Amino acid sequence: MAKPVSIEVWNPNGKYRVVSTKPMPGTRWINLLVDQDCRVEICTQKKTILSVEDIIALIGDKCDGVIGQLTEDWGETLFAALSRAGGKAFSNMAVGYNNVDVNAANKYGVAVGNTPGVLTETTAELAASLSLSAARRIVEADEFMRAGLYDGWLPNLFVGNLLKGQTVGVIGAGRIGSAYARIMVEGFKMNLIYFDLYQSTRLEKFVTAYGEFLKANGEQPVTWKRASSMDEVLREADLISLHPVLDKTTYHLVNKERLAMMKKEAILINCSRGPVVDEVALVEHLKHNPMFRVGLDVFEDEPYMKPGLAEMKNAIVVPHIASASKWTREGMATLAALNVLGKIKGYPVWGDPNHIEPFLNENAPPPAASPSIVNSKALGLPVSKL
Ligand SMILES: NC(=O)C1=CN([C@@H]2O[C@H](COP(=O)(O)OP(=O)(O)OC[C@H]3O[C@@H](n4cnc5c(N)ncnc54)[C@H](O)[C@@H]3O)[C@@H](O)[C@H]2O)C=CC1
Ligand SMILES: O=C(O)C(=O)CO
């Protein structure tokens, strides 16, 4: 029997019991649930990553829905526990759901929500920040200043890479990858090469139009290319950013052989999921190629880094904060809560999870729909006509 966990309760007499495994930013998500007769229980336990046992204790005997986190292992055991407690609704507070066994959820008839769209620009901006920081060696230079080592301007001090006119490579040009590509192309006049399983027509049109604009203004136009393989991107790009989902096909997508294909002075950014990169191979590559630089928001064995990574001057490492803007995190909480609420209330699923703006408008009630349920087809859930 798992030990009881500490909780904060809102609207104790609410009809539906909804549990959030973590406190989440803002209060709109709580108000939306309370207004619809939910008793909201928020786990306040001072433990960053809850175990399966902890979550079973939180679910208890009667639970209608759970809002969970990407650090939790949502598999057979938890979906069975939720189902036993009468619950049919779960949402990750994240767009990525590689921590969720969707087949297990299907087996117990539990809807699995995620939070697309609201974090697209925020995540792309962090990837752009890491790109600039790596190109211009910002973290190394900051450490140097603070260590009192600066004793005057020098021609060779912290010389980095100019991005303008170079080629940015994007692997996974979905919502976030495309937003990142637009920032780097428009902001830094980089040429684009991308690889995705699908063509990104909107992104191609954007780069074409921007190139024409530059040309009309007497500037060198930017260009785009859709690569026929990922290796083509790795060979040609000066700066490469990874934005695919994590699944069997993208595990260790960047490995020893592929690192060796990249330019010696290339920059690699990862704001997707840690296991997309073979981190042991990356540490070796960084050791042998001091001009190669990386910016990492995610790690293979989070919260840990592989041995040697923390010592590498040519690596910038931040703790999975790519979606950490106030607006985005509050929006993620809102979408996750509305995914759970929608299933509890028997609402249909929103037709286009790429356009979730109506759910984020604080001045109007949200549509009567779940914003994004990844297994809606498997469960045969109705689609909203709104
Ligand atoms: N570091 C962080 O805090 C954050 C990380 N993420 C990660 O970013 C991922 C992407 O998010 P979105 O852009 O919203 O998803 P998305 O679904 O719009 O884009 C993913 C793209 O990856 C492509 N893809 C899938 N397999 C591929 C392969 N083998 N090779 C190349 N491309 C492939 C898909 O076709 C799709 O276009 C999430 O799944 C999540 O893991 C998302 C938000 C924040
Ligand atoms: O949403 C995700 O997938 C994250 O990694 C955190 O925002």
Instruction: Give me the DSSP letters along 31-46.
Output: HHHHHTTEEEEEE--S
Is the CA virtual torsion 84, 90, 96, 102 positive or negative?
A: positive
Question: From ligand 1's centre to the CA of 277, what distance in Å?
Answer: 14
| Tokens 């057979």, residue located | 76
By alpha-carbon position, which residue is closest to atom 1 of ligand 2?
94
Distance CA 75, CA 70 (A): 12
Residues in the chain: 386
Which mutation among 22, 70, 72, 374 tests ligand 2's pocket best, with the greatest number of atoms within 8 A of CB? 70
Distance CA 103, CA 100 (A): 9
Which helix (H) or strand (E) segment holds residue 10: the answer is: strand 7-10
329 pocket-lining for ligand 1 (C-beta < 6 Å): no
Q: Is 53 a catalytic residue?
A: no
CB 87 within 8 A of CB 66: yes
Q: Is 252 a catalytic residue?
A: no
Distance CA 142, CA 136 (A): 11
CB 341 within 8 A of CB 38: yes
Question: From ligand 1's centre to the CA of 114, what distance in Å?
Answer: 13
Pick the ligand that lies closest to the CA of residue 333: 2
Question: 234-273: string of b/e by CB count within 10 Å (b at 16+)?
Answer: bbbbbbbbbbbebeeebeebbeeebbeebbeebbbbbbbb
Question: Which ligand 1 atom sits nearest the alpha carbon of residue 297?
Answer: 1
123 pocket-lining for ligand 1 (C-beta < 6 Å): yes
| Tokens 């909780």, residue located | 7
| Whole-complex ipTM | 0.99
Pick the ligand that lies closest to the CA of residue 298: 1
Q: Is 320 a catalytic residue?
A: yes
Is the CA virtual torsion 145, 147, 150, 154 positive or negative?
A: negative
Question: From ligand 2's centre to the CA of 95, what distance in Å?
Answer: 5
Question: From ligand 2's centre to the CA of 151, what distance in Å?
Answer: 42
Angle (nearest 5°) at CA 148 between 144 and 152: 80
- Which residue among the candidates 182, 226, 243, 273 is catalytic per the annotation? 273
* 38-43 and 7-10 beta bridge pairing: antiparallel
Which mutation among 242, 323, 327, 335 tests ligand 2's pocket best, with the greatest number of atoms within 8 A of CB? 323
Per residue of the chain (386 residues), what is the pLDDT tens digit? 455 679 999 999 999 999 999 999 999 999 999 999 999 999 999 999 999 999 999 999 999 999 999 999 999 999 999 999 999 999 999 999 999 999 999 999 999 999 999 999 999 999 999 999 999 999 999 999 999 999 999 999 999 999 999 999 999 999 999 999 999 999 999 999 999 999 999 999 999 999 999 999 999 999 999 999 999 999 999 999 999 999 999 999 999 999 999 999 999 999 999 999 999 999 999 999 999 999 999 999 999 999 999 999 999 999 999 999 999 999 999 999 999 999 999 999 999 988 999 999 999 999 999 999 999 999 999 999 88
